[in-house]
Structure 1
Amino acid sequence: MFFYISQVASFIIMPLSICLIMLLVGFVRIREEWGKRLVLGGIVLLLFFSNSYLSNRLMHAWEPEPKAFDELPVYDLGIVLTGVTNIDKLPKDRTYFNKGADRATHAIQLYKMGKLKKILITGGFGFAPVHPKTEAESLAEFMVWAGVEKSDLILETKARNTRENAVFSQRILHEMGYLESSENNLLLITSAFHMPRAEACFRKTGLFPDTFPVDYYGAAPHLTGKRLLQPNLNSLMVWHILVKEWVGLVTYRLVGYI
């Protein structure tokens, strides 16, 4: 139930949704003074959220710094969070990546460099799946094709959110006796914007992995007239990601997940 409620609630409070609601209600009540103000406020907010300089500066400040490959020690296990493939796309004879493929490709690179001995992929079905193959299974097929030994992959196929990623991964590792033998020598791999919440969830379960953020949206801020004045659709997506993540952090803290 929490999964479905969170999906609906996160949609309602997204910046673009708020702007559209303001414009729609204001348009219906345009003859009234407050309706005109609502339309004007919606336009101003839309310009604010579509400003690429502001959105990039905020995302850059939020995301943790990347870590160099050669500075990492060898880890017994890398934990890769899914959420980066289009699980509804058919046919299922390939892996369809969305933004965020770094979670898989960088994990493969670390594995081939000898930095990861094994890889745990955690992630089940999304909202209203159209095919019985989970995202973890789809990602595993790609990794095997890219050269990862199938015996070096561990799959967790039930998780639907970050909290379940952590809980179910901890359960699998505990059942395998892996935590005792590896002394918690783990590396958590997920998108940079998502890392604070993911790390907090894993720590709540008693796992204390090192982190390897990937899939960066922000870049070093560089002020230009174009970035400051020209509206950018990508900025709305950046705000969508940030607000959803912030709401997730607050919600998880309120319900005791972190």
Structure 2
Amino acid sequence: MEYIIKFIYGFILPPGLFFTLMVILSLWLRQRNRRLFFLTGGFALLLYLSFIPLTGILLVHPLENSYKPPAHPNGDVIVMLGGGATLGTPDMNGEGQLSGDAANRLMTAFRLYRETGLPVIVSGGKVYPDSGVEADIAKRELIALGMPANKVIVENKSITTRQNAINTKKILVRFHYVRPVLVTSAFHMPRAVRNFSQIGIRVGPYPTDYLASKKLSLYPGQFVPSDGGVAFTAIKEYAGLLTTLF
């Protein structure tokens, strides 16, 4: 019964509601205006494909499978890229919290530190007026987890992946690091590696924060409209990869 309710909700709540309304409009136009019937029907199909989870999974899988986490990372420093933070929100030892993507990256960076003892460079600034400074919040949280303050290096000016690479390179040169282990979301790793490579930095990718399971499973829920977040994220990354060509 619960699955039936979820199925119905998918079509009567946004964004599935927009698809449902477009289908109703298309059917109403069927005998009135054939051209508009096909136009609205095509748009309804596009909306549907954009919002179902299966589309997002198919789009994000190639990105997330581009690199695999090495069993034994070989590097002299860990570089963690930011991925969003809130401003002024209460935390256990201060204000501001990392978003879900960034929090997953932070936990991976910390676990790598525990395994290797390598210092961590956290890169990320204040992207929007109402967002927190990602690197500063990350440092506070790493220290709270038990990492020594002198093991955390902050780069808090970057607001794009390209700036992450450029500003991190300055730190790598200053401290004579030559084998950075790059930690970021799996879907973001291809673009991040490309940005670092373009400025002469060869990184050891360590992807984390996967959006899709390794194995694709087909079940009714994959065809029910949802928020389309995974598809949007994947399309954004493909667009970002295109910009690295220019």
Answer yes or no: is the 8 Å Cα contact 1:121–1:155 preserved in 2. yes
Hey, what's the Cα distance between the residues in 2 that align with 1:204 and 1:245? 17
The aligned runs of 1:204-243 (5 Å cut-off) are 204-228=198-222, 230-234=223-227, 236-243=228-235
Cα displacement (A) at 1:36: 3.5
Cα displacement (A) at 1:34: 4.1
Cα displacement (A) at 1:33: 4.7
Hey, what's the Cα distance between the residues in 2 that align with 1:223 and 1:185? 37
Answer yes or no: is the 8 Å Cα contact 2:193–2:203 preserved in 1. yes
For structure 2, the residue ranges without an aligned partner over 5 or more in a row are 1-14
Cα displacement (A) at 1:89: 4.7
Query: Residue 245 of structure 2: SS of its match in structure 1?
Result: helix
Cα 1:222–1:171 shift into 2, 3 Å: closer
The alignment's C-alpha RMSD in Å is 2.6
1:8-52 Cα deviation digits (max 9, x unpaired): xxxxxxxx8xx89xx6xx99xx77554433322221112212332
The aligned runs of 1:89-168 (5 Å cut-off) are 89-91=88-90, 93-100=94-101, 101-113=103-115, 115-127=116-128, 129-130=129-130, 134-168=133-167
2:185 matched to 1:191?
A: yes
Cα 1:239–1:118 shift into 2, 3 Å: same
Hey, what's the Cα distance between the residues in 2 that align with 1:46 and 1:109? 40
For structure 1, the residue ranges without an aligned partner over 5 or more in a row are 1-15
Hey, what's the Cα distance between the residues in 2 that align with 1:206 and 1:224? 42
Larger radius of gyration: 2
Cα 1:225–1:157 shift into 2, 3 Å: closer
1:140-197 Cα deviation digits (max 9, x unpaired): 10000001111011111111100000001112332x2x23xx3x12101101111111
Instruction: Compute the TM-score of the two structures, normalised by the length of structure 2.
Output: 0.78
2:3 corresponds to: none
Paired residue total: 218
